[in-house]
Amino acid sequence: MKTHVAVVASPGMGHIIPLFLFAKRLVTHHGLRVSFLNITTEASTAQTQLLHSTDLPSGLDVVDLPPVDLSTHVSKDALIVTRLCINVDQTFRCLKSVLLKLGKLKALVIDLFCTQAIDVCKDLSVPVYSFVTTSSAFLAFSLYLPTMDREVEGEYVDLPEPVQLPGCSRVRIEDLVDQIRDRKDVDYQWFLYNLSRLPLAAGILVNTWEDLEPLSLRAIRDNPFYQEIPTPPVYPIGPLVKNTETGPDVERTLAWLDKQPIDSVIFIALGSAGSLSAQQLTEFAWGLELSGQRFLWVVRLPSDIACNSAAFFNAGGDVNDPTAYLPEGFLERTKEVGLVVSSWAPQAAVLSHASTGAFVSHCGWNSTLESVALGVPMVGWPLYAEQRMNATMLMEDVGVLRKPWAVGPAAKETTTIGREEIERVMRSVIQGEDGKAIRRKAKELKVSATKALNVGGTSYESLSRLTEQWKA
C-alpha cells in the first residue's frame, strides 16, 4: 500500500498553486498517495477551477472541506491575513474527523497560515510539515520575527536602521511586510501567531533551490541563532512552477507572440490579486506607449482603495472591458506593437516563449520562480505582502530585476510612478546594457533551476530524502 500524506493550503492562489504542484509531484515523482484538502469557504473562481477542472494523476484526490459561515466571526473591513486565519480556524473544526476518515497518514503538509492543524495532529500522532510558499530569505525573517517582537519597543517602521537578520542580508524598513507595520492591529497578531509556530513543525519545505538563495539557506542551517531556536530541518524543493495552463484566448495570445522578434516583448501581469489605481494605470499606459516597446499586458479593473490586493478573494472571477479605463485611443495607437488582454493570460506559456524579453511583475514568489526558472528578467512592481522584500532581494542579491524607482526607497501604495520613469525603464530593460546583463543572469539561473529539479539535482534529492523518511 502506498504511503499516504495529506496537504492543505489556506485560500489564495499564491498558496494553493505551489502546494497543489507539490502534491502532484509527490504522486508522480515519488510514488506517494496524496489527499489535498480544499478549504471551500471564500474560495476564488480560479481556486475552484484549478482543483476541480484538472485531470488529476492517479493517487491524488481533492477532498472538499465543508463550508463555514464567517459572517459572525469576521468584520467586513478585516484585512487579508485576519480573514484567512479565521477562515482556517473555523474550517479546521472538522479537521480531526476528516483526517480520521482518510486513514493512516504519515504526514500533513500545511502552509504558513494553517498552523492550527499542529494541535489537531498532535492528538492524532501525525507529524506536520510547513510548506513555505515564499523565499528562504522570507523564512529567515519569519523565524526572526518572534525575537523582534520580544526585543523591539514601539513600531518596527520607526526603527532607525534596517533589520539585520542573523547571517543574511538586511531588510530595509520600507520593505517590511504590510502585516507587521502596525503591531496593534489584529492582522499583526495573527501573522505573529502563525510564524511563531514554525519551530513546532517536523520540517520546513521551501519552494526555492540552493543556487538561487545560498546565503539565507546557509544561515538558517548553520547560524547559531537559528540553531538555538531550534529550527526544524529545512528542505529546499523548488522551483515548483506551472508548465501548462488552459483558459480564454490562449491560442490568440501565443499566435501573436509567434509574430514578434526574440526577446522583444515586455510581459506585464501583476498576479492573481494585484490591481492598480486608475491614476497609476493611466500613467503606466502612457509610459508604455512612449517607450515604443512591444508588450503583452494583462489588465485588470483599477482599484482606488488603499489595499492593492483587491482581487485576492476574487481571482479568476473578474470581468472587465479595457476600453472603459485605458487612455482614450491607447488600444488603437499601440495595436501594431502591443496586445492587451483582460484579467488573465497563460503566464507560464508566455514566459517560456522565445519572444518574451522581460516580465513586469508584482514579485509574488510564484511569479518570481516562473520568471527565473524560465530565464526571463524582471521589472519589479511590488504591491503588497512580502513583495517589496522579494524585489529588493532579486535586484541586489540575485541580479535579475530592476525597479522603476531604481535605488531609492520602495514605492508606497499611494505613490504614483510617472510616465517618464516608466518609459525609461521599459526601454532600458529591452534595449539597454543593464537589461542585457539581467537577462544573461536570468538565463544562467534557468539552467540551474532545471538541474535542481532533475534526478540527482539538489531539490530532487532534498525531497527524496524526506519522502524516504515517510515511506520507512
C-alpha cell of 115?
498552523
Place of cell 499566435: 255
Strand-pairing partners, residue 8, are 37, 110
Strand-pairing partners, residue 295, are 266, 338
Q: How do the residues of the chain divide into helix, strand and coil, expressed in percent and rounded to 5? A: 45, 15, 40
Other C-beta atoms lying within 10 Å of the C-beta of residue 345: 23
Alpha-carbon dihedral sign for residues 181, 192, 236, 207: negative
Any idea which residues carry the catalytic annotation?
Answer: 15, 111
Contacts of 398 (CB under 8 A, 6+ apart): 212, 213, 372, 441, 445
Q: Which secondary-structure segment (H or E) carries 366?
A: helix 365-373
Contacts of 143-150 spanning 24+ positions with Cβ under 8 A: 143/195, 143/198, 143/199, 143/220, 143/226, 143/229, 143/231, 144/225, 145/180, 145/192, 145/195, 145/196, 146/192, 146/195, 146/196, 147/225, 149/183, 149/192, 149/196
Give backbone dihedrals phi and psi of 255, rounded to 5 degrees, phi first: -65, -40
Helix (H, G, I), strand (E, B) or coil at 387: helix
Radius of gyration of the chain from its Cα atoms, rounded to whole angstroms: 22
Burial per residue of 289-322, b for 16 or more beta-carbon CB atoms within 10 angstroms, e otherwise: bebebbbbbbbbbbbeeeebbbbbbebbebeeeb
Closest by CA position to 372, among listed 409, 399, 412: 399
CA angle, residues 406, 157, 413, in degrees to nearest 5:
50
Decide: 34 and 305 in contact? Cβ < 8 Å: no
User: Alpha-carbon distance 126 to 104, whole Å?
Assistant: 9
